[in-house]
């Protein structure tokens, strides 16, 4: 099958309604068949609650959904946590936002809603109403205290000295060695999924682009793919090519930024200065291509339009500068000494925790949604960039190598594009549910949208790879020293906003 014969990548899909009693058996069958649990979405259908479990695997691209209907008054599900770590996180989210009890969950405590939210108020229920007043008697989060001679705690954040997103980190430390680190997030929970409810599909774009500001194109693309899938929209090839190009450009820009930031965190400011210059060059290119430095506005349901394509000379210049930047960092022995062996995430742990994206590939797990769930024909020749060491150096190297791959893809896609203003805006034909999977620069982004016959989004569940990857940071910090934490955290560079929603 050649590229031009295919109308577009068509995934194999299944969807089945299962009884709560059969959920564990069916889920274990899918997990055993190599599927991963990509998304769990709660739904309030008015007369009852419904939970959708989306499993996916690839290549070849396979997507399987299990739907369970629940009683509105006493919603409870058998927990999948014993077989799937991601499930344990999704179930805690369901418990907070929908009040659905996962029976048999080993460690059920609030995840999304902080302690000062009133118990029993579940914001994604239809009858939730406006946010109630905060509790005055809120207890502090039950951090697990580590006992022992010389153990002390360092609380950091949520407000930090630098301009970064808010998160609270609680370290239990002996001397300088980290015994335990607990990340407490959801300080930037904005109620994104609630805001999607009732939103006309074309207006959801603005919201999707702001889920995580540095991932505007990939999140928006996942949203658009989901609603197009729901509405049965056929996409022209040029639309898919342009979208692929934009997502790769976003990957290049953010990876460059990360390479510089990693150098900056070890005090190697010269490399950071070069990376920032290069980033500015890429942002200006994005501005010229789409009219927005962060690639907003180019991708819309049914269409994608650019003002111009990047030229070969521009791409060659960027490639040369990236190579210089990587050489500058890797030829410095002190920089590499800081990177190597720091914050190792073992492959076993990465696999068991369902870690995604750059972090997974740096630990030897070859996951890449561009290969597993391609939305345009780039998957055939692409193999995931994988490193085995799992340390900061491996995560640096994966990013450096992926920039080169992405630059090649941008050039290839630009060569195949026919029209810069491709596709037609969607007209509502039918409602339904759809799934969008995109390998953003951090990892696989999954959106699942349900659209009604009037073209309004009734529900859009968003999973940023950060949601599944954050817990692995604590694992990687075992035996790491406190002053290396910022470097380890930067090498993961997970999204707070994308996680908190």
Give the residues lining the site for another protein (CB under 8 A).
152-156, 160-162, 176, 263, 265-270, 272-274, 277, 332, 334-335, 337-338, 481-487
Distance CA 154, CA 180 (A): 11
Cβ of 86: how many Cβ atoms within 10 Å?
A: 22
Contact status, residue 180 vs residue 474, Cβ threshold 8 Å: yes
Query: Based on CB atoms, which residue is closest to another protein, 59 or 155?
Result: 155
> At 434, is the secondary structure helix, strand, or coil?
strand
Kindly report whether the peptide bond that precedes residue 59 is cis, defined as omega within 30 degrees of 0: yes
- Going by the DSSP 8-state scheme, the letter that residue 309 receives in this structure is P
Cα 252 to chain centroid, rounded: 16
CB of 165 to another protein, least distance (A): 14
Would you put residue 301 in left (φ > 0), alpha (ψ -120 to 50) or beta? beta
Give the nearest distance from C-beta 494 to another protein in angstroms: 16
Secondary structure (3-state) at 170: strand
- The radius of gyration of the chain's CA atoms, rounded to the nearest angstrom, is 22
Cβ closer to another protein: 151 or 428?
151
Residue with Cβ nearer another protein (59 or 267): 267
The nearer residue to another protein, 155 or 198, going by C-beta atoms, is 155
338 or 461: CB nearest another protein: 338
As measured in angstroms, the least distance from the Cβ of 497 to another protein is 20
Cβ neighbours for 443, distance < 8 A, ≥ 6 positions apart:
356, 357, 358, 359, 360, 367, 369, 465, 466, 469
Give the number of other Cβ atoms within 10 Å of residue 2's Cβ. Answer: 7
Q: Is 63 strand, coil or helix?
A: strand
Give the start-end residues of each E strand in 137-225: 151-156, 168-174, 177-184, 199-200
Minimum distance from CB of 17 to another protein (Å)? 49
**Rounded to an integer, what distance in angstroms lies between the CA atom of residue 65 and that of residue 175?**
49
CB of 146 to another protein, least distance (A): 15
Judged by DSSP in three states, 481 sits in strand
Q: Which is nearer to another protein, 156 or 386 (CB)?
A: 156
To the nearest whole angstrom, how small is the minimum distance from the Cβ of residue 73 to another protein?
Answer: 46
- Report the candidate in 198, 201, 193, 195 with the shortest Cα–Cα distance to residue 232: 201
- Closest distance of CB 297 from another protein, Å: 32
Separation CA 423–CA 438 (nearest Å): 19
Residue 148: phi and psi, rounded to 5, are 140, 160
Residue 496 Cβ vs another protein, minimum distance, rounded to whole Å: 16
- Least Cβ distance, residue 336 to another protein (angstroms): 9
- The smaller minimum CB distance to another protein, of residues 108 and 270, is found at 270
Residue nearer to another protein on the CB measure, 156 or 195? 156
Considering beta carbons, is residue 111 or 322 the nearer one to another protein?
A: 322
């Amino acid at each position: 099958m050649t590229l031009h014969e295919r109308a577009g990548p068509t995934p194999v899909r299944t969807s089945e309604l299962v009884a709560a009693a059969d959920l564990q058996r069916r889920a274990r069958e899918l997990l055993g068949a190599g599927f991963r649990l990509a998304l769990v979405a709660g739904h309030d259908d008015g007369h009852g609650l419904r939970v959708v479990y989306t499993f996916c695997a690839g290549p070849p691209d396979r997507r399987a959904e299990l739907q369970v209907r629940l009683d509105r008054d006493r919603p409870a599900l058998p927990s999948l946590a014993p077989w799937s770590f991601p499930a344990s996180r999704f179930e805690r989210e369901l418990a907070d936002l929908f009040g659905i009890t996962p029976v048999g969950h080993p460690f059920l405590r609030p995840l999304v809603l902080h302690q000062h939210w009133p118990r029993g108020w579940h914001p994604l229920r239809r009858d939730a109403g406006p946010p109630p007043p905060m509790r005055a008697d809120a207890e502090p989060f039950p951090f697990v205290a580590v006992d022992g001679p010389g153990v002390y705690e360092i609380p950091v954040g949520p407000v930090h000295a630098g301009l970064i997103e808010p998160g609270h980190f609680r370290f239990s430390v002996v001397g300088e060695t980290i015994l335990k680190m607990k990340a407490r997030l959801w300080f930037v929970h904005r109620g994104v999924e609630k805001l999607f409810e009732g939103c006309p599909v074309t207006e959801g774009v603005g919201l999707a682009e702001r889920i995580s500001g540095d991932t505007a194109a990939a999140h928006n693309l996942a949203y658009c793919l989901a609603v197009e899938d729901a509405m049965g929209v056929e996409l022209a090839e040029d639309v898919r090519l342009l979208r692929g190009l934009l997502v790769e450009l976003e990957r290049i820009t953010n990876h460059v930024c990360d390479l510089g930031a990693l150098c900056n965190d070890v005090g190697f400011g010269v490399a950071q200065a070069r990376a920032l210059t290069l980033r500015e060059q890429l942002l200006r290119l994005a501005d010229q291509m789409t009219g927005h430095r962060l690639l907003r506005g180019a991708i819309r349901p049914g269409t994608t339009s650019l003002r111009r394509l990047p030229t070969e000379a521009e791409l060659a210049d960027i490639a040369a500068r990236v190579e210089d930047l990587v050489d500058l960092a890797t030829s410095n022995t002190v920089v590499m000494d800081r990177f190597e062996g720091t914050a190792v995430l073992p492959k076993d742990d990465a696999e068991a925790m369902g870690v995604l994206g750059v972090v997974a590939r740096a630990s030897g797990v070859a996951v890449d949604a561009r290969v597993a769930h391609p939305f345009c024909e780039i998957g055939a020749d692409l193999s995931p960039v994988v490193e085995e060491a799992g340390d900061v150096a491996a995560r640096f190297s994966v990013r450096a190598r992926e920039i080169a791959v992405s630059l090649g893809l941008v050039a290839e896609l630009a060569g195949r594009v026919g029209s810069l203003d491709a596709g037609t805006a969607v007209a509502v034909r039918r409602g339904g549910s759809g799934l969008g999977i995109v390998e953003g620069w951090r990892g696989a982004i999954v959106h699942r949208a349900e659209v009604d016959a009037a073209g309004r989004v009734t529900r859009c569940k968003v999973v940023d790879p950060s949601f599944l990857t954050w817990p692995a940071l604590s694992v990687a910090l075992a035996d790491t020293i406190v002053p290396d934490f910022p470097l380890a955290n930067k090498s993961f560079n997970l999204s707070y906003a994308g996680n908190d929603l």
